[in-house]
Chains A and B, each alone.
Chain A
Amino acid sequence: MAVTVKVMRRPEPGRSSYLRAALRGMGLTFKHLVNPNKVTLEYPEEQPDLSPRWRGTHRMEVHADGRPKCVACGLCPTVCPANCIRLVGGEDDQGNRYPVVYEVDEFRCIFCGMCQEVCPVEAIHVGVHFENAEYTRSRFVYDLDRLMDQQHPTTRLWDPSDRKSE
């Protein structure tokens, strides 16, 4: 097979001007200056618009009287693939089962959302939240009080009007 060589036609030095290309580049820059479809955000003054399915750090739902909704059934530590939930059940003063210890290690968590999916009483949720900076690593093990104090919206794993995702 014969080898073909593409011959580039370049402007000869000294015989062409870069002015046209420079102006085109400046034009592009100016276009983005006034383009309404901007992609960068003025974070943290502006907050990103997260999907309702976003799976971030956990949150525990709370009854009206301040008790956690969790009944310590043990399904979330059982289903958790990252083994990041520690649960110790116990009996409260009314004879109900409740979590004496409930800890989620957010560093170990892979945010699969199965804990929320498996929960029979809709207590533990993953949340629409991503700002988790802390000064120490140990602060990433969220205990029950911390999980109950979280205020961010909880994840909607499925559309309630379309439970079978059809």
Chain B
Amino acid sequence: MAESSPAETVTLTIDGRQVTVPRGTTLLQAAERVGTRVPHYCYHPGLSAPAMCRLCLVEIEKAPKLVPSCITQAADGQVVHTQSEEPLAMRRGVLEFYLQNHPLDCPICDQSGECKLQDYAHAEGRVHGRGREPKRVFGRDDFGGDVVFYGDRCVMCTRCVRFMNEIEQDPRLTVVERGDRSIIDTFFEEGLEGTHYHGNIVDICPVGALLSKDFLFKQRAWDLDHTPSVCPGCSQGCNIELHTRDNLVQRLRPRVNLDVNGHWMCDHGRLDYEWINRGDRVEVPLVGDGREARATGWRAALTSLLERLDGAGPVRAVVSPRLANEDLGAVRALVDALGGGEIVYRSRRAPAEVPLKGFPKLARRRDLEPNVNAARLLGMERVGGDDGTGGLAPFAAHGGVLIVAGDELADQPPDFGERARLYVYLGQHPTAAASRAHFVLPITNFAEQEGSFTNHEHRVQRFWPALEPPGAARPGWLVLGALLAERAGEAAPTRAEVAFERIGAFEGLTYERVGTGGAPIGEDRALPAEAAGGRA
């Protein structure tokens, strides 16, 4: 991946189509520009290319023999054929070699459906194998961590070895033995235990040799729905895809964004998704008198909340930094509309960052919540300890209006908010600390709503709804937006986009500008934590 100025370009012909690319572009990347995907295993855009899989060989006119397109740089006037007779015959031959020892256990292989060997063999391989000798058998090996290795399926692309060497920079994997007995192995019994990014080798494995233990035999790849999202595991904001089925998140996969996470994500974020699938949810609005609560509808709940909102005393709010920008902005707007008051959040913090050495932009950040930076930008303060508990003593005994949004208050006693004249709890989960609430309003989590997070470098990134919200749960911005609009006699925001544009701190940004890759807030508004005094 050589750097070059845009002025230095070369023009060549690939499969009869002319393309102009920067000097230094490889033939494989140039072919992608004209819509031709040259089959490859060992090449990965995030890694070095050893040109050892021999699958990406293409024909260049007047060249003596086929060249590997993943390392050959495009040159002026080249005429390249990727689909002519010679490369096709070569690929068919190479694929036959790959299938010589590859077990035909697609029915029990988790990679089935997203397997490159399946795809290539189906598209270009022979219909029937000619092998007569028995296949060599390695069996299964536990690599430690979240990775299990099926040696028989390996195609020796060594992407995993190169990932551990170049990106994680903790060489734990290597190739042992030679010839058809060569196999990926760990050093003695060391394994991958203790490394923090090894889940990526499962993603980059083109076949089913490296599989995730967490996902093993759980779902078929073709059954999963993919929704672009942002990892809620820390304030890095890795771009991810939520893979869902049966209205449950089944696994997380990184989504390419070279400005944030490249092709990678950490294991902490990858495996921390069970909370999204929690079944104990508030499903209907509950209206109570502080002792008993009864279920009601949204209209009744919001109407009666609106009547009690004014004149109930000073306001204090607790929010969760897992809420979207839009939700936090709506809480801020509500508190401001009621005369202003203290808003705090609690967040878990790790003792140290966990950087990815080969891709320095990416690290598991200290803040283990996705949206602490939006909370800071909106003038909210952090209280409590590094485990995300405590610090709410003045709120538990607050006598005016108490608003809790998103925070589950798991560490708080049942008499939390007992003395509040109005205690509104907007949350996903029923909790003991909400038993004195006058209003319990069900809101959605990030996987069930559209919205955005602000990451550690004040980059706003959008996510999309992947799951059906339970019962009558609605996004926080919709609930609070409707409440505020009714109070002010305005139109309520009906889309997350509108709710986002109403937040002063993000002025100038629109969903359209943020797009799928995110956009930074202007430098002048990206305030450090201490200086963030209010609405910027």
> Which positions in A face B, CB cutoff 8 Å?
71-75, 78, 89-91, 95-97, 120-121
- Flag if B140 contacts A73 (CB, 8 Å): no
Closest B residue to A90 by beta carbon equals: B217
> Which positions in B face A, CB cutoff 8 Å?
106-108, 112, 140, 216-220, 222-223
Contacts of B108 in A (CB 8 A): 71-73, 96-97
Assembly CA distance A107 to B227 (angstroms): 34
Assembly CA distance A78 to B113 (angstroms): 12
Contacts of B223 in A (CB 8 A): 74, 78
- Flag if A75 contacts B107 (CB, 8 Å): yes
Contacts of A96 in B (CB 8 A): 108
Closest B residue to A92 by beta carbon equals: B217
The 10 closest A-B pairs by CB, nearest first: A73-B107, A74-B220, A97-B108, A120-B107, A89-B217, A97-B217, A71-B108, A91-B217, A71-B107, A90-B217
- Flag if B217 contacts A72 (CB, 8 Å): yes
Closest B residue to A75 by beta carbon equals: B107
Q: Among the interface residues A75, A89, A90, which one has the most CB atoms of the partner chain B within 10 A?
A: A89
Closest B residue to A87 by beta carbon equals: B220
Given contacts A72-B108, A73-B107, A74-B220, list 7 more A-B pairs with CB under 8 A.
A71-B107, A71-B108, A73-B108, A89-B217, A91-B217, A97-B108, A97-B217
Assembly CA distance A103 to B112 (angstroms): 23
Contacts of A75 in B (CB 8 A): 107
Identify 6 residue pairs between A and B in the complex whose beta-carbon atoms are under 8 Å apart, listed by A's number.
Answer: A72-B217, A73-B112, A75-B107, A90-B218, A91-B217, A120-B106
Q: Among the interface residues B106, B108, B217, which one has the most CB atoms of the partner chain A within 10 A?
A: B217
- Flag if A78 contacts B107 (CB, 8 Å): no
Contact residues of A: prevailing secondary structure: loop
Residue from B106, B140, B222 within 8 A of A95 (CB atoms): B140
- Flag if A89 contacts B107 (CB, 8 Å): no
Assembly CA distance A159 to B124 (angstroms): 31
Closest A residue to B110 by beta carbon equals: A97
Assembly CA distance A72 to B219 (angstroms): 10
Contacts of B140 in A (CB 8 A): 95
Assembly CA distance A91 to B218 (angstroms): 9
* CB of B520 to closest CB in A, whole Å: 43
* CB of A66 to closest CB in B, whole Å: 19
Closest B residue to A91 by beta carbon equals: B217
* CB of A48 to closest CB in B, whole Å: 36
* CB of B468 to closest CB in A, whole Å: 18
- Flag if A121 contacts B107 (CB, 8 Å): yes
Closest B residue to A71 by beta carbon equals: B108
Assembly CA distance A91 to B223 (angstroms): 19
* CB of A94 to closest CB in B, whole Å: 11
- Flag if A78 contacts B220 (CB, 8 Å): yes
- Flag if B216 contacts A91 (CB, 8 Å): yes
Assembly CA distance A72 to B216 (angstroms): 12
Contacts of B217 in A (CB 8 A): 72, 89-91, 97
Closest A residue to B220 by beta carbon equals: A74
* CB of A87 to closest CB in B, whole Å: 9
* CB of A51 to closest CB in B, whole Å: 30
- Flag if A78 contacts B218 (CB, 8 Å): no
Assembly CA distance A121 to B105 (angstroms): 10
Contacts of A120 in B (CB 8 A): 106-107
- Flag if A89 contacts B218 (CB, 8 Å): yes
Closest B residue to A98 by beta carbon equals: B217
Contacts of A74 in B (CB 8 A): 220, 223
Closest A residue to B218 by beta carbon equals: A89
* CB of A85 to closest CB in B, whole Å: 13
Assembly CA distance A144 to B209 (angstroms): 30
Contacts of B219 in A (CB 8 A): 89
Assembly CA distance A75 to B222 (angstroms): 10
Q: Among the interface residues B106, B107, B140, which one has the most CB atoms of the partner chain A within 10 A?
A: B107
Contacts of B216 in A (CB 8 A): 91
* CB of A98 to closest CB in B, whole Å: 8
Closest A residue to B113 by beta carbon equals: A74
* CB of B129 to closest CB in A, whole Å: 16
Contacts of A72 in B (CB 8 A): 108, 217
Assembly CA distance A91 to B140 (angstroms): 14
* CB of A165 to closest CB in B, whole Å: 19
Assembly CA distance A73 to B223 (angstroms): 12
Assembly CA distance A156 to B219 (angstroms): 30
* CB of B245 to closest CB in A, whole Å: 11
* CB of B333 to closest CB in A, whole Å: 45
Assembly CA distance A120 to B104 (angstroms): 11
Closest B residue to A73 by beta carbon equals: B107
Contacts of A97 in B (CB 8 A): 108, 217
